[in-house]
Structure 1
Amino acid sequence: MKTNCIRCYEFGDPKEVLKVEQKERQAPINDEVLVRMLLRPINPSDLIPITGAYSHRISLPTIPGYEGVGIVEDVGPNASKELIGKRVLALRGEGTWQDFVTTSSDFVVQVPHSIDDYTAAQLYINPLTAWLLCTEVLKLQPEDSLLVNACSSAIGRILVQLSKIIGFRLIAVTRNDAHKEDLLKLGASNVINSSETPLYQKVMSLTNGQGVNYAIDSIGGPSGTELAYCIQPQGTLVTIGLLSGIPIDWRKISNETNIQIKLFHLRHWNKQVSAQTWQETFKNLFSLIVDRKLTLMEPQATFELTEVNKAISFAESQLKNKGKVFLK
């Protein structure tokens, strides 16, 4: 049976290098499950690898897409048949930008009925990363302060909500005031428009000259490097993204500050975590969603999988922070 998929044969502009193709649907083997995909979001973490930013660890050709929700269509002989028909997150298997995804039964996560498809489809990359940053990487406590750039992004908004849940202070950094009121309502203690206000001076003013305990950088380049100088001695800067495509200036930060710098990649956590802890971590996130303590971005637009180039153009437009773009 032929099914649709999106393939990338070379690195470059996603709108130019992604191809709509057909592939043969394969039956699952061993402990595999076959998931018929319903919905997947378009994230920066899906698009940046296509440009070649991480070409050293991505083999071509490749099918993009790290997350999404679907229905288990079939299982291999070593997987439970009770999974058939269940709505699940299809994770850590094949790229999700195709009609059917094969992955291990250990890694599919069953979704509670009370969580809708649009929320479920985006419950992996950003929520899991934000949760782990707060609870495992930085182990944030109520007395701590955290500075976050690109804070109007999907993960930034989740970190803001977690600050309210856990109780730490979060100072949000944005490039304009378009999302200021939303971020304050979600739980940010302060919002700094870095295009109008010098970041260092404002952070020092807000922290009585002490600086923040921690900072999280999603941008890299000068914007990420600037965060380092807002952190008090012995504090920590965690880099989680490269939206600018430019690394932070590691040497400059090391020579001129007394802080730790950490890289966080979700794939590293995935490699060492047990299947039990993997499932339990998602249950924690599900509880926050069901109890309405955590909300994710609303859908802004939905496109057919075969309209991927149109969808990416829309996702890259100036409207992107008003909602999430999905492929169905």
Structure 2
Amino acid sequence: MYGQTICFHEFGEPQDVLEVKQREVTPLMPDEILVEMIVRPINPSDLIPIRGAYRHRISLPCIPGYEGVGSVIDIGSNVSKSMLGKRVLPLRGEGTWQQYVKTSASLSIEVPNFISDDEAARSYINPLTAWIICKELFKRSNNSFLLVNACNSAIGRIFAQLSVVFGYRLIAVVRSSAYTEELLQLGAWHVINCSQSDVYKTVMDVTSGQGVHAAIDSIGGKEGYELARAVRRGGFFISIGLLSGLQVDWQRIAIELDIQSKIFHLRQWLQRISVDDWQNSFQQIFALLRQKQLILGRAEARYKLIEITKAVQIAELSGQQGKVLLT
């Protein structure tokens, strides 16, 4: 059996290096399942590796895609037949930008009926990252301030909603006032338009000169450093993305700022948790979705795998609010 697959054989701009090919589905191992994909999102975290940001740990050719949802159509000899036909997230296995995905049965996440395909497809990378940071890394209280840049992004909107769940005060940084009202409605305590206001000065004004307890940077480069400046002594600065394509000046942060700083990699968290903890984390995400405490927003557009060039171009348009989905 062959399936349609997106892959890249060299690093570069996604619209230039991504190809659509037919790939043979190899036999399943005893503990594996085969999933026919329904839908998967295009995330910045999918595109950044294609450009070569993490080339030291990516083997070519590579199939991109970290998340998505599909139906189980075949099982290995050690897997219960009850898995057949189940809707699952086939995670931590092969890249999801293909028609058929193989993964370990124990690591697949069964999707409850009250979760739509679109929600399920996007319930991994951004929700889980934000959940872990809020639950395990950010020492929060009702008086804690969390500063997040690129807050109009999908994960920024999640941090805004989780501020209500966890009880911290979110200061959202965006580049346009068009996002202010929505972020306030989602739960943000204050919104800074960095194209009109200085982030550091505004943060000091609204925190009575104390600075924030923690900051989450998705941009890197100069903007990441400016975010770190606004963290109070002993606070946390966490990098979760490189939308600018540039690393934060970690040496400067270490020399000039008396704060704790680190890069958060979801894959490192995955390496140290049990299968039970992995499964339980999704049950908490699904519970938030069911209770409408977490809303992932609308899809911007849908494209078939064969339309990948157009899909990535649309996904990277400035001002994009909804996710682009591959069907």
Q: Give the structure-1-normalised TM-score.
A: 0.98
Which residue number in structure 2 is paired with residue 179 of structure 1?
179
Q: Is the 8 A contact 1:183 1:191 kept in 2?
A: yes
Which residue number in structure 1 is paired with residue 324 of structure 2?
325
Q: Percent identity?
A: 53
1:135 and 2:99 equivalent?
A: no
Question: Which structure 2 residues correspond to residues 92-111 of structure 1 after superposition, within 5 A?
Answer: 92-111=92-111
Which residue number in structure 2 is paired with residue 310 of structure 1?
310
Deviation at 1:319, TM superposition (A): 4.2
Q: Residues of 2 paired with 1:319 and 1:222: CA distance?
A: 21
| Deviation string, structure 1 residues 200-253 (Cα, Å, up to 9, x no partner) | 110000000000000000000000000111011000100011110111111111
Question: Which structure 2 residues correspond to residues 267-278 of structure 1 after superposition, within 5 A?
Answer: 267-278=267-278
1:18 and 2:18 equivalent?
A: yes
Q: Is the 8 A contact 1:27 1:34 kept in 2?
A: no
Deviation at 1:297, TM superposition (A): 2.5
Q: Residues of 2 paired with 1:139 and 1:71: CA distance?
A: 39
Structure 2 residue identity aligned to 1:264:
F
Q: Residues of 1 paired with 2:311 and 2:99: CA distance?
A: 16
Question: Which structure 2 residues correspond to residues 31-50 of structure 1 after superposition, within 5 A?
Answer: 31-50=31-50
Which residue number in structure 1 is paired with residue 228 of structure 2?
228
Q: Secondary structure at the match of 1:172?
A: strand
| Deviation string, structure 1 residues 21-70 (Cα, Å, up to 9, x no partner) | 00112232110010000000000000000000110010000000000000
Q: Secondary structure at the match of 1:123?
A: coil
In terms of mean alpha carbon deviation, does 254-263 or 35-44 score higher? 254-263
Q: Is the 8 A contact 1:12 1:51 kept in 2?
A: yes
1:189 and 2:173 equivalent?
A: no
Q: Residues of 1 paired with 2:319 and 2:184: CA distance?
A: 20
Q: Is the 8 A contact 1:70 1:89 kept in 2?
A: yes
Aligned residues: 327
Q: Residues of 1 paired with 2:72 and 2:165: CA distance?
A: 33
| Deviation string, structure 1 residues 282-327 (Cα, Å, up to 9, x no partner) | 0000000001110002111000011111100111112422x11000
Deviation at 1:6, TM superposition (A): 0.4
Q: Is the 8 A contact 1:3 1:22 kept in 2?
A: yes
Q: Residues of 1 paired with 2:266 and 2:139: CA distance?
A: 16
Which 4+ stretches in 1 moved above 6 angstroms?
none
The gaps in structure 1 that reach 5 residues or longer are none
Q: Is the 8 A contact 1:133 1:139 kept in 2?
A: no
Q: Is the 8 A contact 1:215 1:238 kept in 2?
A: yes
Q: Secondary structure at the match of 1:178?
A: helix
Deviation at 1:138, TM superposition (A): 1.5
Deviation at 1:95, TM superposition (A): 0.2
Structure 2 residue identity aligned to 1:327:
L
Q: Residues of 1 paired with 2:284 and 2:141: CA distance?
A: 18
Q: Secondary structure at the match of 1:254?
A: helix
Cα distance, 1:113–1:8 mapped onto 2, change above 3 Å = same
Deviation at 1:141, TM superposition (A): 2.5
Deviation at 1:140, TM superposition (A): 2.4
Q: Secondary structure at the match of 1:77?
A: coil
Q: Secondary structure at the match of 1:140?
A: coil
Which residue number in structure 1 is paired with residue 210 of structure 2?
210
Which residue number in structure 2 is paired with residue 260 of structure 1?
260
Q: Residues of 1 paired with 2:197 and 2:310: CA distance?
A: 36
| Deviation string, structure 1 residues 74-131 (Cα, Å, up to 9, x no partner) | 1101122111100011100000000000000111101111111011100000000000
Which residue number in structure 2 is paired with residue 73 of structure 1?
73
Q: Secondary structure at the match of 2:36?
A: strand
Which residue number in structure 1 is paired with residue 152 of structure 2?
152
Which residue number in structure 2 is paired with residue 299 of structure 1?
299
Deviation at 1:3, TM superposition (A): 1.1
Q: Is the 8 A contact 1:15 1:309 kept in 2?
A: yes
Q: Give the structure-2-normalised TM-score.
A: 0.99
Which residue number in structure 2 is paired with residue 7 of structure 1?
7
Q: Secondary structure at the match of 2:178?
A: coil
